[in-house]
Amino acid sequence: MAVSTHVSQVRSLYKRILVLHRFLPIDLRALGDQYVKDEFRRHKGASPEEVKSFMVEWQQYKDTMQTQVLESAAERLGSVKFGANLSEGKLTDFQGEQIGQLYELMLESTKPNRQFDIQEDSK
């Protein structure tokens, strides 16, 4: 029963993050969606210690995104900045591969011409 509860919590968090990404600019949404999908897939077989840390960090990400989306809805006229700065303490907890991923993500998200060729869905 505990496994089914855990799977339900992971799935719920994953879906909520993707819903929140709908409020991002389209190029950041595509980048964020792909990153989230890759990370959740990559951690399917993670150890219990890694899973606990993984869930805490993604829950914090979801909470941050939710707050920023609500702020953006309240401030429609102003520009909203999505994301958050990482503390030095958090950075020291990262492994070398994670620092590399973070650097690549930063490079991709700050490119003037993003690699994604995205068009709005016509509804």
pLDDT at 60: 94
Instruction: Enter the DSSP assignment of 76.
Output: T
pLDDT at 113: 62
In percent, the amount of the chain with pLDDT more than 90 equals 34
Question: What is the value of pTM for the model shown?
Answer: 0.64
Which DSSP string corresponds to 80-117?
Answer: -----PPPHHHHHHS-HHHHHHHHHHHHHHT-SS-S--
Token pair 């994301």 in the structure block, residue: 83
- Per residue in 8-65, pLDDT tens? 999 999 999 999 999 888 888 999 999 999 999 999 888 888 999 999 999 999 999 9
- 123 pLDDT more than 50: no
pLDDT at 12: 95
Integer Cα distance of 77 and 34 in angstroms: 29
Q: Which residue has the higher pLDDT, 43 or 1?
A: 43
Token pair 């995104």 in the structure block, residue: 65
